[in-house]
């Protein structure tokens, strides 16, 4: 069993990534604590002591008392449990290079999505402008076109080729948000195919956000995209 405690929030993409990675490595049964974002528990001292950015997921090995942000932590997981479960990092140089590239781009994808669906949450009322939101929407549409093309050109069904990798760990939660917020699979067929292929994967099903299970009906913010 893994000697760690994961502090997480339901529906947080960064947390979901960490949980998918743990499932893929067959590292179930770790300690964890579900935090309430509504109660701002992710800014609590317990989290800040571990992660000075006050972000989930936060996890700590009791041994070293050091915060391990996502990628750092996954790399260590990888070296400690290299031959357990899915390798997550392809051996072939070309696929590995593509994986890191897609992970970096995944961050931009995630931010562009948030800038649309959480515009009101991020921007105080007196600073909101219809023109700004509409620019954010155009930026997200352009981004969706790039990912549709990435999948079109991928040599396999996954983002970095023919095997499930860290790129999928990082980007799948963003994809799931798209469809929960009403994106049309008809207009983005490759994204739809990718989502359908991955949503029932055991690691992803096991880590599905609990509040999405309680409330399977999503939102419509991206219906007309």
Q: Which is nearer to a second copy, 79 or 215 (CB)?
A: 79
Q: Does 127 bind a second copy (CB under 8 A)?
A: yes
- Check: CB of residue 3 under 8 Å from CB of residue 61: yes
Q: Which is nearer to a second copy, 146 or 197 (CB)?
A: 146
Count of residues interacting with a second copy (CB under 8 A): 30
**What is the token pair recorded at 78?**
């990888």
| DSSP labels, 92-145 | SHHHHHHHHHHHHHHHHHHHHHHHHHTHHHHS-GGG--HHHHHHHHHHHHHHHH
**What is the token pair recorded at 25?**
């490595």
Q: Does 121 bind a second copy (CB under 8 A)?
A: no
Rounded-to-integer distance, Cα 144 and Cα 73, Å? 29
The residue behind tokens 């390798």 is 87
Answer for which of 3, 33, 37, 76 binds a second copy (CB under 8 A) is 76
Answer for which of 33, 36, 49, 72 binds a second copy (CB under 8 A) is 72
Q: Does 20 bind a second copy (CB under 8 A)?
A: no
Q: Which is nearer to a second copy, 131 or 215 (CB)?
A: 131
Quote the distance between the C-alpha of residue 15 and its chain's center: 7
Q: Which residues bind a second copy (CB under 8 A)?
A: 52-53, 69-73, 75-76, 79, 93-94, 96-98, 100-101, 103-105, 107, 123-124, 126-127, 129, 131-132, 146, 149
């Amino acid at each position: 069993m893994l000697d760690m405690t994961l502090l997480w929030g339901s529906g947080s993409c960064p947390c979901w990534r960490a949980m998918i990675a743990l499932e893929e490595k067959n590292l179930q049964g770790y300690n964890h604590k579900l935090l309430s974002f509504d109660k701002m528990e992710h800014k609590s001292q317990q989290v800040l002591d571990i992660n000075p950015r006050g972000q989930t997921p936060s996890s700590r090995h009791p041994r070293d008392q050091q915060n391990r942000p996502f990628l750092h932590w996954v790399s260590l997981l990888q070296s400690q449990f290299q031959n357990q479960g899915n390798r997550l990092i392809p051996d072939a140089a070309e696929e590995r290079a593509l994986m890191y590239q897609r992970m970096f781009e995944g961050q931009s994808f995630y931010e562009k999505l948030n800038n649309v669906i959480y515009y009101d949450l991020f921007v105080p009322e007196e600073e909101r402008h219809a023109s700004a939101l509409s620019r954010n929407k155009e930026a997200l549409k352009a981004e969706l076109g790039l990912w549709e093309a990435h999948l079109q050109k991928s040599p396999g069904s996954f983002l970095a080729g023919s095997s499930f990798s860290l790129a999928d760990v990082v980007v799948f939660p963003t994809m799931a948000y798209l469809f929960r917020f009403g994106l049309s699979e008809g207009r983005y067929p490759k994204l739809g195919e990718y989502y359908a292929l991955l949503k029932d994967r055991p690691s992803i099903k096991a880590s599905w956000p609990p509040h999405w299970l309680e409330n399977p009906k999503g939102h419509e913010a991206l219906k007309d995209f």
